[in-house]
Structure 1
Amino acid sequence: MNLQHDVKKLPSVSDYYSATQLRADRWSALRETAESMLVHGVEGRQGSKLLKTAETLLDALAPIELYWAFPGLHAFEHLRRLLDHRNIEDLATAVRRVARALTSGAYRRRTVPVGGDELDNEDFEDDSTLAPEDRALGRPYFEVLIVDNVNEHQERFLRNNLHRVRRAEDPFIYEPVVVPSLEDALMGILFNYNVQAVIVRPGLVLKSKNALPIIQQYLSRLNEDEDVDALQPYEYGPEACRLIAKVRPELDAYLITDRSAEDIAGLDLGRCRRVFYNQEDFLELHLNILRGVNRRYKTPFFTALKEYSKQPTGVFHAMPISRGKSISRSHWIQDMGAFYGPNIFLAETSATSGGLDSLLEPKGPIKEAQDMAARAFGSKQTFFATNGTSTCNKIVVQALVRPGDIVLVDRDCHKSHHYGMVLAGANVVYMDSYPLHEYSMYGAVPLHEVKHTLLKLKAAGKLDRVRMVLLTNCTFDGLIYNVERVMEECLAIKKDLVFLWDEAWFAFARFSPTYRRRTAMSVANTMRERLADAGYRLEWEKQQEKLKDADDATLLKTRLIPPPDARVRVYATQSTHKTLTSLRQGSMIHVNDMDFKGEVEQAFHEAYMTHTSTSPNYQIIASLDVGRRQVELEGFEFVQRQVESAMAIRRAVATHPLLRKYFRVLTPSDMIPAEYRESGIQSYFNADEGWSDKWEIWAKDEFVLDPTRVTLAVGGTGWDGDTFKTKILMDKYGIQINKTSRNSVLFMTNIGTTRSSVAYLIEVLVEIAKDLDDLLDDASRMERLSFEKRVSALVEHVPPLPDFSRFHDAFRSGGETPEGDIRKAFFLAYNEENCDYLDLDDKLVARLEGGEELVSASFIIPYPPGFPILVPGQVISPEILSFMRALDVSEIHGYRPDLGLRVFTAKALKALTKKSK
């Protein structure tokens, strides 16, 4: 018999990207092993192997279970004793109960007995399969981490007293987890996503005795940034609170101390909610824990909307669908009411009817919901939007940019930014991202390019006109900037620059300790603290002395730091609906601007009023409110699982021999040139070496690759990216994706991705690879040559990506710097007499190569790849024209094949040039 439970065949710890995956699979394997022992016994060679496997699994789980309330260390030790005494029947029953409860989430709703003599109804439902009404009626469950080095008797005392003060009317239910040390506390909050509160008691020690490698890697990461070993015992409690806030700022911490109030007052306690002085008032502690979680659980607008839907009203305003009246009275659209249900219509009302708060002038529940979102995302102000991040981008640009201001923009950013520049009348300097010619996609804008542009504008005496730097973080393909370094070095050149970070695809990043350090709001808060530090001025003065009379070449090579009086002015726009829970078009604007109140607030309000509908969708606003609640309470867990799913795809493609024949997941070394990868790390997973330390990459490198974005090179299949997406994945297998390039497709995991979804994707890719194998096995010589030719065209003969050429002189204020008036060009094209249309043929190529200047009158955006290769007022280069002619994409926005390429006439350009002179 081929035993599946042979210990040699168990995946090693190094095969797992995270401890949560390891835990789930080990419990599943333990259940299978225990059931096999029931069938085959524990005698003989086969039984001996099963016993060895069970012991190995329990050894692997032991250090992990320290951090979880269920099943708990006492129950876990009970399982060990059952195995030691060879009580296999009770062991199999207990392990089955634990494994099923962990999978189903049943332990969240009721007590699951582990002892074999305790009765249990094991036919419980998976938590995710329960009806929403049933799940909503249950009390949410969480766990509380208690940090105290206590013995078994003292631990039982703590648990019993917290259980004793529970009340039937409590809105939540929780279970305590007791760990002994500061290091264990940090590992616990990184590992156990159920933890919502931490109680730090005076008896804690510093070091953990836990030696499991996959857990120790968490600590090694923290020790890079924190000198934990230098702490004195009296500092352990306050430092634990501070580090908890640094790692998971959404958690509530409570410090119990025997030190005086005066001693505590001057210490940094992070986000400690309350300090208790040497007392055992468990009821007060219990009430504070519930109050703290309820603070995040509250959804002011969603709650107000639910209450409104219950009120009897008479509708005499301009919304027939309100209360569902126009549907319930209809004979022809009853199917719509049946499909959506009554609540969505009961919650419909007009903002002007007085039923609920107004998005345009929020003073009630919407205002409170926005304030809570600001707390969750680390901003000073947050504003909701119900028509997408495209509108958010235009609001911010219009509020901050005045006609004639110079704005530095990454050229391949979302088209809404380009249109925002038109509306604001900005003079745009387009900065080129580094190209990835082989995959027909752009990377990101190197910091050297940004600094060089600023220094060039400074030399031309135009630095005072430079208003904003606008960058996309992360890019659609997953490239993430070193946000802190970009802002520091730019502010060192101009101390009042405004930064707009387009985080449309990055809203989830706030809720992971790894990602958070590269988000706009987190960096803005860090910079505020650093600039305000008393010793920072000395650091800056030392660099200034060193750089005295330095030339631009030296400045470009030096990591610059901003002056102490630099202004932190940061904006981030996020598509909540893209990466978190929200209805479509639900987005947020986050503001962390030291000059917002004094300079921007009124202009921002006007821009917000300009672009926001007076009839916003209340359901979208409610979903933003609920989405905020979710990420404050379980965002850490969901983002962790999201990354795990993406890493599982990487490992599967890298290790499967058939998949490797036709597919390849692009690595950081494929998408980020070596000069921007200071860590030198090539990939997240290597079949020979295992996992790389992602923490090191994020700490050092100028650019990092978001692991949740899996770019799969498909050129080896002979299909281009668009065909593979549409004809294969979507039409044949029902797999939906957004982004493709000429020879790649992008899979994005999100907080809703399941392990089953990942398994299905891998199955599909294997089936596609098998079909290709079968096709080539039966192919004729000519068919094989045809296949190889298609592969070669996609892999080896990819048209090079063109750089931004320049704006025509008619749209520039001076030849020494590159900024152009895109608004002037955009509106010049409104008069058709100023425009002409040219065919993309050899004659046009000859005209360009002969030196004739042709200027685009439109935005030209091929899809894929989806970035503008021409903007109004841009000179058309031979390289851009060659790229357009080589594209075999399904659509090119702004280009009509029946008319040709839209350009300005020579007469229009000449007249404009004369007028500007």
Structure 2
Amino acid sequence: MHSLNDYSSAIQLRSDRWSALREATTALTRNPKAGERSKLAKTAQELFNSLAMIEPYWAFPGMSAFVHMRRQLEHEKFEDVAFAVNRVTRALTTGAYRRRHIPLERDSIDQDEHDDEAMLPPEARALTKPYFEVLIVDDVNEHQERWLKSNMSRMRRSEDPFIYEAVVVPSIEDALIAVMFNHNIQAIVVRPGLSLRSSMDLQILTRYLARAGGREEIGALTPEVYGPELCRMIAKVRPELDAYLVTERSVEDIAGLDLGICRRVFYNQEDFMELHLNILRGVQSRNKSPFFTALVEYSKQPTGVFHAMPISRGKSISRSHWIQDMGAFYGPNIFLAETSATSGGLDSLLEPHGPIKEAQELAARAFGAKQTFFATNGTSTCNKIVVQALIKPGDIVLVDRDCHKSHHYGMVLAGAQVCYLDSYPLNKYSMYGAVPLHDIKKQLLDLKAAGKLDKVRMLLLTNCTFDGLVYNVERVMEECLAIKPDLIFLWDEAWFAFARFSPTYRQRTAMNAANSLREKLRSDAHIERYEAQQAELKDADRDKMLETRLLPPPDARVRAYATQSTHKTLTSLRQGSMIHVNDQDFKGEVEQSFHEAYMTHTSTSPNYQIIASLDVGRRQVELEGFEFVQRQVEAAMSMRRAISEHPLLSKYFKILTAGDMIPEAHRESGVTSYFDTQQGWTDMWDCWENDEFALDPTRVTLAVGGTGWDGDTFKTEILMDRYGIQINKTSRNTVLFMTNIGTTRSSVAYLIEVLVEIAKSLDERLDDASRMERLSFDKRVSNLMEHYPPLPDFSRFHDAFRAAQDTPEGDIRTAYYLSYDDENCDYLELNGSLKEAMKEGKTLVSASFIIPYPPGFPILVPGQVISEEILDFMRALDVSEIHGYRPDLGLRVFTQKALDGVSASRPASTSD
């Protein structure tokens, strides 16, 4: 039997234990021989012992039923226990326990036993009442526990919109474990009788409690604050939940305490109906989807359409003789909900005042923002909105050079002075990592020394990167604000919207970091630490500043923006995105310019179906995001483990670990891999809490160079064409598999089967290969895995596009628009005239963005000097697409006359 360290989550552990128990108890009913029977009984008892540490935190099957099953095993009633275990396992697998009572007696009949919730028609599932569980925290005996559960269940009424069951645990530690184990919990009732410590001897107890502050912090609590402190700690790990505090303390004593997620305090009373109604009301507040509901109601109204959109109400389709197939494919509802009207219960995205406004406010709450704005044309547009709203011509922006192209175009539109930052290169895998904090601080300090810190406006970074590298967001913001206290941060979280709903991930999101930093800056402890550091750093030189973990001044302004592609990692139709704002100066300084930028880039005819999907997607993650993200991580971890442990797959494939993708200097924890075949799973929490960079385990980068195929060929000709497996990103010798909240264990199993089949076919082919064929294969592998081109750094902007020589920022806007006139440009062939010009020592300047795909980042931007390293990299790339490069003409560069003209028109610098 696997140990606890063999599992990355309690959910997967529980599922596998019940499945194994079903196999063992079923085998016991087949009259095995004495020795086998004894072995099976022992295995079943061990499984019961293992589950006994987990089942107290779940309402189904409940501890009384669980204990009864154990006794049946002990009394050798194998038929009875096997029947009950089979019913429980099936109900957990199908979700049947959510819809009805599951009888466990052998003579009972369950008519719907074989129904799988996932297989029910959507209409049938929509009519069922959603199920959840309520955690009651009170150190009571068995009789009192039954009394509590009975009183809660008696309050339920047929008209209630939801159904729930209660789980009772005795202590603070048990409550924290319960909310991290049990995704069904939506509300917590904290009663006066709770204790501190758990009686459970869980191997993983300490590991899980670290997410709520750690056992030392919990142990320091005094009894009079147990209830309020538990509410605060639960808010740290699952802020979406509702808590209700039953207390004997006075109003005055409670008023000054941090109650976290507590929605209401009940004073020394047993009003179960009031508690019941509050629980339902709290869950309903998250279950609301105001715009989706308004759109559904609008679709039911009989209307006469005398506005644009013939497709509205489906009229242009139902009257057609030639496009009935479209109507049949999509069904009627999508057309009934199509309109260009902003009345009749609907709203305007550009000037929201009704259900869209409310939906955006609910999204802000869900994602921890102060304001949230919906977008229906993707995060590319969100990025340009934020940049245009915040950047004026001449402002200096520090930008990660390999960020999404929309940021580069945003800089063009805003007229920013762009200061590019280089991520550390992963030459072996033809991909970039992330920008070290040391380099960001160095650039800020250099700009400060040049007297330009007042012009620095924004730091723009991608978090997490396409390949899964995640910044220590709060630390970056802290240290940068220590140098520039009003610096604005734009975090491109296009691939990171799901992170809010996991305690591990959440700490590295922009909104969480901003909220944490705002609270920290107000604290007396921070003020004291800051003053002490300032005394220590008096007259410090740049090297000392770079070596020190800097603290921001207490009056620093926290100004953070995050753009998220909701459609990429959560439930939303394509192009559904959000902008989250946590800016202390938004109301006074930015609001007007933000709305102007929003108007500039947002369609006056936004897609209402996308807006509705954003609304419903938010509802989903507030109620089950914790569960879905856990399952997403499980799927990725299962994939990592299966590939790492398979002897055949390891011949041709390698999963890149944190040690492969993050240099040791940026991994303070020392952790190199999340899974080790000898030790099992490593706890990610230390890495994510302390390391400069962490690796998102849901992104599985597979090195495929050992197959002899480059990444693009492996993606297109093998995975997609042969097996129908779709992926987004490749590099020269890797492919990236991304799990999401819709990924199933079956999908992971299929992928493993495919990789094994590929590996077997390679084995067979090489076994039959001639000597020359084998040499050819080895040469291809060597070329992909050993002879790789070094990734080029950003060279520099040409002097014509620089205001001064002492700092590297450049005027990308002037360069971009200069190329609009063909007279200013020329084309040079990569291996011909361009090569000759470089040999002659000529300075050549790119007139275009040059973006090889893969890897998909710009290696040249308008106004950038072309270096030998960049040309070598372009020549070594074996890709079919290089955006901005025309193979028939060559590389587009500026003429010397054009460059001279710009230089002549630029005002003389006073900074040289």
Report the TM-score when normalising by structure 1: 0.98
| 1:259 aligned counterpart, secondary structure | coil
| Equivalent residue in structure 1 for 2:2, among 11, 16, 37 | 11
Q: Does 1:729 align with 2:697?
A: no
Residue of structure 1 in register with 2:446 after alignment: 456
Higher mean displacement: 193-202 or 120-129:
120-129
Return the alpha-carbon distance in structure 2 between the equivalents of residues 153 and 544 of structure 1. 60
| 1:146 aligned counterpart, secondary structure | strand
Return the alpha-carbon distance in structure 2 between the equivalents of residues 303 and 352 of structure 1. 15
User: After superposition, where does 1:769-848 map in structure 2 within 5 Å?
Assistant: 769-841=759-831, 843-848=833-838
Higher mean displacement: 344-353 or 711-720:
344-353
Return the alpha-carbon distance in structure 1 between the equivalents of residues 36 and 514 of structure 2. 61
Give the 3 Å change call, closer, same or farther, for CA 227–214 of structure 1 in structure 2. closer
What fraction of aligned residue pairs are identical, expressed as a percent? 75
Q: Which runs of 4+ in 1 moved over 4 A?
A: 352-355
Residue of structure 2 in register with 1:905 after alignment: 895
Give the 3 Å change call, closer, same or farther, for CA 188–892 of structure 1 in structure 2. same
Deviations 1:605-633 (A, max 9, x none): 00000000000000000000000000000
| Equivalent residue in structure 2 for 1:469, among 442, 445, 459 | 459
CA displacement at 1:402 relative to structure 2: 0.2
Return the alpha-carbon distance in structure 2 between the equivalents of residues 535 and 641 of structure 1. 38
CA displacement at 1:228 relative to structure 2: 1.1
| 1:114 aligned counterpart, secondary structure | coil
User: After superposition, where does 1:504-519 map in structure 2 within 5 Å?
Assistant: 504-519=494-509
Residue of structure 1 in register with 2:30 after alignment: 39
Residue of structure 1 in register with 2:585 after alignment: 595
Residue of structure 1 in register with 2:253 after alignment: 263
| 1:884 aligned counterpart, secondary structure | helix
Deviations 1:577-610 (A, max 9, x none): 0000000000000000000000000000000000
Return the alpha-carbon distance in structure 2 between the equivalents of residues 681 and 534 of structure 1. 34
Q: Letter of the aligned partner of 2:860 in structure 1?
A: L
> Are the equivalent residues in 2 in contact too, given 1:845–1:878 (CA < 8 A)?
no
Residue of structure 2 in register with 1:582 after alignment: 572
> Are the equivalent residues in 2 in contact too, given 1:507–1:574 (CA < 8 A)?
yes
| Equivalent residue in structure 1 for 2:322, among 323, 332, 337 | 332
Deviations 1:47-91 (A, max 9, x none): 111111111111111110010000010000110111111111111
CA displacement at 1:660 relative to structure 2: 0.6
> Are the equivalent residues in 2 in contact too, given 1:439–1:741 (CA < 8 A)?
yes
Higher mean displacement: 227-236 or 365-374:
227-236
Gaps of 5+ in 2: 908-912
User: After superposition, where does 1:684-763 map in structure 2 within 5 Å?
Assistant: 684-763=674-753
Deviations 1:263-299 (A, max 9, x none): 1111111020000001100000000000000000000
Q: Letter of the aligned partner of 2:155 in structure 1?
A: V
| Equivalent residue in structure 2 for 1:302, among 289, 292, 295 | 292
| Equivalent residue in structure 1 for 2:109, among 114, 119, 124 | 119
Return the alpha-carbon distance in structure 1 between the equivalents of residues 341 and 786 of structure 2. 57
Aligned length: 907
| 1:735 aligned counterpart, secondary structure | coil
> Are the equivalent residues in 1 in contact too, given 2:212–2:233 (CA < 8 A)?
no
| 2:398 aligned counterpart, secondary structure | strand
| 2:201 aligned counterpart, secondary structure | coil
Residue of structure 2 in register with 1:380 after alignment: 370
Deviations 1:225-275 (A, max 9, x none): 861111111111111111011110000000000111111111111020000
Return the alpha-carbon distance in structure 2 between the equivalents of residues 112 and 821 of structure 1. 69
> Are the equivalent residues in 2 in contact too, given 1:196–1:633 (CA < 8 A)?
yes
> Are the equivalent residues in 2 in contact too, given 1:349–1:355 (CA < 8 A)?
no
CA displacement at 1:157 relative to structure 2: 0.5
Deviations 1:694-726 (A, max 9, x none): 111111100000010100000000000000000
Q: Does 1:550 align with 2:543?
A: no
User: After superposition, where does 1:598-617 map in structure 2 within 5 Å?
Assistant: 598-617=588-607
CA displacement at 1:849 relative to structure 2: 4.1
Residue of structure 2 in register with 1:28 after alignment: 19
| Equivalent residue in structure 1 for 2:851, among 856, 861, 867 | 861
CA displacement at 1:539 relative to structure 2: 1.8
Residue of structure 2 in register with 1:239 after alignment: 229
Q: Does 1:539 align with 2:538?
A: no
Deviations 1:820-839 (A, max 9, x none): 00000000000000000000
> Are the equivalent residues in 1 in contact too, given 2:212–2:234 (CA < 8 A)?
no
Deviations 1:451-495 (A, max 9, x none): 000011111111100000000000000000000110011111111
Q: Does 1:75 align with 2:70?
A: no
Q: Does 1:501 align with 2:491?
A: yes
User: After superposition, where does 1:886-897 map in structure 2 within 5 Å?
Assistant: 886-897=876-887
Q: Does 1:102 align with 2:69?
A: no
Return the alpha-carbon distance in structure 1 between the equivalents of residues 224 and 817 of structure 2. 68
Give the 3 Å change call, closer, same or farther, for CA 873–686 of structure 1 in structure 2. same
> Are the equivalent residues in 1 in contact too, given 2:401–2:421 (CA < 8 A)?
yes
> Are the equivalent residues in 1 in contact too, given 2:298–2:344 (CA < 8 A)?
no
Give the 3 Å change call, closer, same or farther, for CA 26–713 of structure 1 in structure 2. same
Residue of structure 1 in register with 2:201 after alignment: 211
Return the alpha-carbon distance in structure 1 between the equivalents of residues 223 and 434 of structure 2. 46
Q: Letter of the aligned partner of 1:875 in structure 2?
A: V
> Are the equivalent residues in 2 in contact too, given 1:19–1:214 (CA < 8 A)?
no
Return the alpha-carbon distance in structure 1 between the equivalents of residues 484 and 103 of structure 2. 64
| 1:66 aligned counterpart, secondary structure | helix
> Are the equivalent residues in 1 in contact too, given 2:235–2:261 (CA < 8 A)?
yes
| 1:567 aligned counterpart, secondary structure | coil
Give the 3 Å change call, closer, same or farther, for CA 487–216 of structure 1 in structure 2. closer
> Are the equivalent residues in 2 in contact too, given 1:409–1:429 (CA < 8 A)?
yes
| 1:31 aligned counterpart, secondary structure | helix
Q: CA RMSD in A?
A: 1.1
| 1:804 aligned counterpart, secondary structure | coil
> Are the equivalent residues in 2 in contact too, given 1:715–1:791 (CA < 8 A)?
yes
Residue of structure 2 in register with 1:5 after alignment: none
Q: Letter of the aligned partner of 1:293 in structure 2?
A: V
Deviations 1:367-406 (A, max 9, x none): 0000000000000000000000000000000000000000
Q: Letter of the aligned partner of 2:496 in structure 1?
A: F
Return the alpha-carbon distance in structure 2 between the equivalents of residues 220 and 518 of structure 1. 16
Residue of structure 1 in register with 2:81 after alignment: 91
Residue of structure 2 in register with 1:345 after alignment: 335
Return the alpha-carbon distance in structure 2 between the equivalents of residues 351 and 590 of structure 1. 27
Q: Does 1:671 align with 2:677?
A: no
Return the alpha-carbon distance in structure 2 between the equivalents of residues 169 and 103 of structure 1. 28
CA displacement at 1:692 relative to structure 2: 1.2
CA displacement at 1:801 relative to structure 2: 0.3
Residue of structure 1 in register with 2:561 after alignment: 571
Return the alpha-carbon distance in structure 2 between the equivalents of residues 136 and 711 of structure 1. 38
Deviations 1:171-221 (A, max 9, x none): 000000000100000000000000000000011100001113134421255
Return the alpha-carbon distance in structure 1 between the equivalents of residues 286 and 19 of structure 2. 33
Return the alpha-carbon distance in structure 1 between the equivalents of residues 737 and 497 of structure 2. 17
CA displacement at 1:846 relative to structure 2: 4.2
Residue of structure 1 in register with 2:313 after alignment: 323
CA displacement at 1:95 relative to structure 2: 0.7
Q: Letter of the aligned partner of 2:227 in structure 1?
A: G
CA displacement at 1:847 relative to structure 2: 2.7
Deviations 1:88-142 (A, max 9, x none): 1111111110000000000000000122243322543111111100000000000
Return the alpha-carbon distance in structure 2 between the equivalents of residues 36 and 904 of structure 1. 78
> Are the equivalent residues in 2 in contact too, given 1:140–1:172 (CA < 8 A)?
yes
Q: Does 1:153 align with 2:143?
A: yes
Deviations 1:775-822 (A, max 9, x none): 111111111000000000000001110000000001000000000000
| 1:423 aligned counterpart, secondary structure | helix
Give the 3 Å change call, closer, same or farther, for CA 607–151 of structure 1 in structure 2. same
